[in-house]
């Protein structure tokens, strides 16, 4: 049996987070969810993920830019996909290299394609 790639979804809006989790689970990913940047960074330290999908604005405290930087410090090849309604203009300055940014609203197929485009078969952790 093939090991499912682990994906961390970081989103403070419960409905968006649940929709993403369901969509990725349907296409074969093992999902962990987080609603805050602090919790996301703790989860990144506890498990090996193939990818992280993070909103930029996560309420007070640690934002999605910080989550992605932490993910890449731990695993330099980790796939990173950002999602945002209003922070796309900051991506060139704040985003990690070889990441993807999707503006909200997006189609789930776009999000799945973005993650898959960053993963190679050998990159699955």
Instruction: Look up residue 69 and give its two tokens.
Output: 């930087």
In this predicted structure, the answer to whether residue 114 has a pLDDT above a threshold of 80 is yes
Name the residue range of residue 60's domain. Answer: 6-123
Query: CB atoms < 10 A from the CB of 25, how many?
Result: 13
Residues in the chain: 125
Percent of the chain with pLDDT over 70: 94
Looking at per-residue pLDDT, the higher value among 2 and 8 belongs to 8
Q: How many domains does the chain have?
A: 1
* CATH number of the domain that residue 62 is part of: 3.40.50.2300
- According to DSSP, residue 99 is labeled -
Q: For residue 1, is it within any domain? A: no
> Which pTM value belongs to this model?
0.92
Query: Using one digit for the tens of pLDDT, what is the confidence trace for 47-79?
Result: 899 999 999 999 889 999 999 999 999 999 999
CA atoms within 13 A on the CB side of 117: 11
Band (pLDDT 50/70/90 cuts) for residue 84 is: very high
């Amino acid at each position: 049996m093939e090991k499912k790639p682990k994906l961390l979804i970081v989103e403070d809006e419960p409905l968006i987070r649940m929709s993403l989790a369901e969509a990725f689970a349907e296409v074969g990913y093992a999902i962990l969810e987080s609603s805050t940047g602090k919790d996301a960074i703790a989860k990144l330290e506890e498990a090996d993920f193939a990818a992280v999908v993070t909103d930029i604005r996560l309420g007070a405290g640690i934002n999605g830019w910080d989550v992605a930087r932490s993910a890449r410090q731990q695993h330099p090849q980790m796939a990173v996909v950002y999602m945002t309604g209003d922070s796309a203009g900051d991506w060139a300055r704040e985003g990690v290299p070889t990441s993807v940014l999707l503006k909200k609203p997006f189609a789930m197929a776009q999000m799945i394609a973005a993650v898959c485009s960053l993963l190679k078969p050998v990159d699955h952790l």
